[in-house]
């Protein structure tokens, strides 16, 4: 079967190998695919792999040879599942490959916000320490995490692991999730969402993006948060009302935000968060460590191999 990768660059910018995938059949790999190019590039493919290139109803209808879509990620909203199902096209994803890396990013943002690591590093490089009359200096309040309360929104693999790391840092943890565990951890309290925003010193988002969760962090909930609190989002950008968050930060109603995702990626130049006070934004790299991408590549190939063997795995439709 012909295999076409529509946008393989972010998974493999050159430090991994496609050879194992190539061993499964004729394979064409594109670094990136523009919307107008999708149909032509996938026209002769029975197997299409995509990360962010959208396979809409109209696109799927115009690909009569297509039998399998492999999403190079956990989220699969880039594929019209109903259209694929109607044409008996199997869709798979990679459900768990970057948990450790995303958790690391959560605490990278939190450590940066509470200790202002990047700001102090830039100050030292600019000569601020060299000119200091004292052996140490700090230009911002330094916050200890021990005893602070972390609110985890969503308690899947990543949310659960974030909670475990927070407890290791001697933080108190509360959580809100659609389906609390049957046997919840004894050291974590499960609360309603509004209560979580009111009580937390740090709120970390790990829930899926659904019609119910879109812009769940809105102007109303931001008013619930303490002015000393921080918001961390490594989940999905549209969980946050970005204009409302920028207003809260600029008005000093929130101490800071650490974001690895935005509602539009790359962001538009006018996104208010790009210039908001105490807002650190990273370019959606929490998933992108070499170790995580190696795992992703392995499961992507295993998914295709399982489909070819007639024993599909990680099917989402």
- From 236, 242, 293, 295, the catalytic residue: 236
Hey, which residues does 204 pair with through a beta bridge? Answer: 152, 232
Residue 259: name the closest of 240, 287, 277, 234 by CA: 234
Tokens of 210: 């659904």
Tell me the CA distances in angstroms from 168 to 7, 98, 203, 228, one per residue in order: 39, 20, 17, 22
Sign of CA dihedral 192, 198, 204, 210: positive
Q: Are 98 and 77 in contact (CB under 8 A)?
A: no
For the chain, the straight-line distance linking the first and the last C-alpha, in angstroms and rounded, comes to 21
- From 41, 253, 284, 305, the catalytic residue: 284
- From 37, 144, 265, 268, the catalytic residue: 265
H/E stretch holding 311? none
Q: Are 212 and 239 in contact (CB under 8 A)?
A: no
Sign of CA dihedral 300, 302, 303, 309: positive
List the alpha helices (DSSP H) in the chain. Answer: 19-22, 38-42, 57-61, 81-86, 99-115, 117-125, 157-168, 193-199, 219-224, 242-250, 290-308
For residues 236 and 305, give the distance between their C-alpha atoms in angstroms, rounded to a whole number: 30
The question of whether 236 is a catalytic residue gets the answer yes
Residue 167: name the closest of 182, 183, 152 by CA: 152
For residues 192 and 71, give the distance between their C-alpha atoms in angstroms, rounded to a whole number: 33
The question of whether 265 is a catalytic residue gets the answer yes
The question of whether 167 is a catalytic residue gets the answer no
3-state class (DSSP) for residue 20: helix
Active centre residues (catalytic) = 236, 265, 284
């Amino acid at each position: 079967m012909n295999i076409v990768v529509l946008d393989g660059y972010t998974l493999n910018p050159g430090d991994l190998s496609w050879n194992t995938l190539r061993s499964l059949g004729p394979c064409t790999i594109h670094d990136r695919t523009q919307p107008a190019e999708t149909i032509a590039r996938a026209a002769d493919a029975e197997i299409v792999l995509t990360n962010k290139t959208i396979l809409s109803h109209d696109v799927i209808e115009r690909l009569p040879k297509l039998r399998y879509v492999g999403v190079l990620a956990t989220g699969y909203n880039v594929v019209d599942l109903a259209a694929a199902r109607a044409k008996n096209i199997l869709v798979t994803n990679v459900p768990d490959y970057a948990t450790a890396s995303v958790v690391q990013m959560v605490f990278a943002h939190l450590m940066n916000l509470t200790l202002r690591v990047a700001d102090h590093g830039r100050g030292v490089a600019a000569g601020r320490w060299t000119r200091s009359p004292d052996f140490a200096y700090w230009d911002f309040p330094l916050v200890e995490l021990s005893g602070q309360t972390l609110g985890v929104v969503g308690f899947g693999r990543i949310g659960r692991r974030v909670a475990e790391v927070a407890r290791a840092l001697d933080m108190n943890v509360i959580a809100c999730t659609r389906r609390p565990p049957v046997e919840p951890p004894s050291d974590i309290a499960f609360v309603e969402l509004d209560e979580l925003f009111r009580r937390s010193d740090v709120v970390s988002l790990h829930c899926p993006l659904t019609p119910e969760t879109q812009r769940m962090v809105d102007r109303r909930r931001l008013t619930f948060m303490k002015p000393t609190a921080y918001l961390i989002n490594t989940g999905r950008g549209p969980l946050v009302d970005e204009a409302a968050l920028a207003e809260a930060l600029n008005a000093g109603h929130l101490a800071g935000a650490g974001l690895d995702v935005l509602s539009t990626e790359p962001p538009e130049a006018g996104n208010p968060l790009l210039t908001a006070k105490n807002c650190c934004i990273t370019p959606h790299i929490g998933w992108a460590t070499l170790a995580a991408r190696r795992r992703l590549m392995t499961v992507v190939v295993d998914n295709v191999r399982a489909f070819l063997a007639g024993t599909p795995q990680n099917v989402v439709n």
